[in-house]
Structure 1
């Protein structure tokens, strides 16, 4: 672990943290900014909700929009991508008789939300080593006359792949596309959300953009903005999009207030230069672990995410959710925070790289794995 940067965070030094993609890590200065925001709200709640928060949240929302390269009036603040999915399903009035297409690489809770509304979930299926054309074909084949929404991950959570979003959107048009970009803000350079040809794009800020947890953005194409409402309607009711999302009752707004502090931390940590360094570190680290395991590179034509990467486990290891969970417990007991993933009948490790990581983190994991797997 890079001690100079690790000191900026509050991570347990007894653990080797290689799972930034799960919940991120809040820098100490950002957590302190959130604490100050919470204290100001508690010091005068009436002043906060009537006078302060509308102004402060509008600024935070605008800065988040600028960070992902879209106009301020196009983007609302939500707590996470899962909430954004619920907002879109509600706005499109998805229900019985409707199909929603997801992929077998998607986040399971999106499917739960679809089925809870009585709609039919259809799955675009493709392997880890698929070619981008196979991904497009899978989404096209899963789309029917009853499809009301296609949900695609920009970077897949279990498999760390960067999917061809624009090509899929073109292939399924005119069906609207919602992009789950939970792992994208602050981690994927060259992003142009408005050029993707999608209707909705939602990204978490608490992973690679270093904001407090429960901070995310929901970008909406102009033709859909009028129909979207927050899941909790409160004092912002009646305001235009995106202002109607700002004040949602008595929820804790402090994570949103501290969004500018998180984005400033991202810049202070090196911005895109740091992301490039992380990507190179991860590529080398994954190679080191793969050589220790003597397993092949599982990837094919789809590029891996810059700061997330799969390493295949040996045959027979982590191939089921139960065995992957057992391996997670052994890894954590040995001081490693790295998730085993069971996908398509094969076991993998999903490695991440963050500014606080260094080469020794991956070397320690590579050295420990043979004995841990033998156990």
Structure 2
């Protein structure tokens, strides 16, 4: 694996989910595309729309969706911004989000609501809620003013799936536009949009798919497709969706052009089914090792009961109040990187702090054993005094 990835042996890489990692062969392919662009810029940009169209057709086949439904965008958040600008939203309307949502997308929803003098309602979904309970929480919040529903396919802060198939079915029946944030899902699921009825679905190929950054996809279906426009107005404006997204002026889109070869290259080297299985096993066993290390020091149960868990992404409960409070997860991430030389993701939910593990094929069991041995004792000290328990730690309170 070391020969296939440019990752440094230090720090520990336990957070593939945030920014991904790009294999060497993909970086080489992207560099060759950049050389081609710089060698003859006029020829490059004149022929670029056709090359982008060909790339998105290959990506559509990989995601098992129709090419005419897929456009390429910088990232999932950029795709959400396209949806906010294009989907109909009446004056005084209401947007439903969940308390598992990605912060930047929720901020975009709030900005849309402010522009239209509307409101955003945040629905609580218990961390351990199964599909029916989670769907009922969202569906039960719908009112006559609900004009947009947003749900994560796989939640970033809490590493769980949400039942977007069940939510989408009701949204379509009631004529409410539905945006699904699937940032982490491309390549993590073999057929990510199977059974999902939504107006817009966005995802990143540079997360689990390991494509060069930034490569996002937007899949649009339903009555509002032709109301969706690129973030940049360019010469493709007279074209229909998705072709208008193929014309974006002088942007460097070598990452998007290299993405299809990355997806097929990983499949040829390791096989996507094997990658998913290995990453899921590593994340699961790694979470168990780290949780046990915390338990040995605190006497508390640090395992996390998650409804609809995501295989390659797992949570471990942090001791005490570590990682909680405004800005605390990001501050902890920075401190762990600076002082413990480990790239990690931290989050909080329901007043509890969590370590989020996100594994890929380049990880090994030794990574998690090292973190348990070297980092867990330090994190426990940072948490301060914690009580010793002989009974399991209770599930997070639904009150926020």
Q: TM-score, normalised by structure 2?
A: 0.88
Contact persistence 1:166–1:196 (CA under 8 A): yes
The answer to whether residue 232 in structure 2 is matched with residue 227 in structure 1 is no
Q: Please report how far the alpha carbon of residue 114 of structure 1 lies from its aligned counterpart in structure 2 after TM superposition.
A: 2.1
User: 2:130 touches 2:308 (CA, 8 Å); kept in 1?
Assistant: no
Indicate whether 1:329 and 2:334 are aligned: yes
Residue in structure 2 matched with residue 89 of structure 1 by the alignment:
84
Match of 2:26 among 25, 30, 34: 30
User: Structure 2 unaligned runs (5+)?
Assistant: 296-300, 383-400
The aligned counterpart of 1:9 is 5
Q: CA RMSD in A?
A: 1.7
Match of 2:359 in 1: 353
Asked if structure 2 preserves the Cα contact closer than 8 Å seen for 1:321 and 1:341, the reply is no
Give the whole-Å Cα distance in 2 for the aligned partners of 1:112 and 1:371: 34
Alignment CA distance shift 1:248-1:363 (3 Å): same
2:37 matched to 1:41?
Answer: yes
Is 2:165 aligned against 1:156? no
Q: In structure 2, what is the equivalent of residue 340 of structure 1? A: 346
Quote the Cα distance in structure 2 between the aligned partners of 1:212 and 1:120: 37
Measured in 2, the distance between the counterparts of 1:324 and 1:148 equals: 32
Aligned twin of 1:278: 279
Partners of 1:98 and 1:39 in 2: CA distance:
49
Partner Cα separation in structure 2 for residue 56 and residue 194 of structure 1 = 27
Q: List per-residue Cα deviations over 1:22-51 (Å, max 9, x = no partner).
A: 000111221121122122122222211212
Q: CA deviation at 1:288?
A: 0.7
Q: 1:275 to 1:195 in 2, by over 3 A?
A: same
In 1, Cα distance between equivalents of 2:336 and 2:226: 48
Aligned-partner Cα distance in 1 for 2:69–2:95: 24
Partner of 1:262: 262
Matches within 5 A, 1:1-375: 5-51=1-47, 53-94=48-89, 96-117=91-112, 118=115, 119-172=118-171, 173-174=173-174, 175-189=176-190, 191=191, 193=193, 195-267=195-267, 268-294=269-295, 295-300=301-306, 302-332=307-337, 333-368=339-374, 369-375=376-382
Provide the secondary structure at the position in 1 that maps to 2:7.
coil
Residues 34-72 of structure 1, C-alpha deviation per residue, up to 9 Å, x if partnerless? Answer: 122122122222211212x12211111011111110111
Deviations 1:217-245 (A, max 9, x none): 11111432222111212121211211110
Verify the 8 A CA contact 1:136 1:171 in the aligned structure 2. Answer: no
Q: Aligned partners of 1:141 and 1:111: how far apart in 2?
A: 20
Unaligned runs of 5+ in 1: none
What SS does the corresponding residue of 2:224 show, helix, strand or coil?
helix
Once the 2 structures are TM-superposed, how far is the Cα of residue 194 of structure 1 from its aligned partner? 5.1
2:120 and 2:327 map into 1 onto residues whose CA distance is 25
Q: How far apart, CA to CA, are the structure 1 residues paired with 2:249 and 2:94?
A: 32
Partner-residue secondary structure (3-state), 1:144: coil
Q: d(CA) in 1 for partners of 2:223 and 2:331?
A: 47
Contact between 2:186 and 2:192, CA under 8 Å: does it hold in 1? no
Q: Give me the whole-angstrom Cα distance separating, in 2, the residues matched to 1:372 and 1:188.
A: 33
* 3-state secondary structure, aligned to 2:370: helix
Aligned-partner Cα distance in 2 for 1:192–1:350:
22
Q: Is the 8 A contact 1:282 1:352 kept in 2?
A: yes
User: Aligned residues, how many?
Assistant: 368
What SS does the aligned partner of 1:217 have? Answer: strand
Task: Give the whole-Å Cα distance in 1 for the aligned partners of 2:314 and 2:215.
Answer: 24
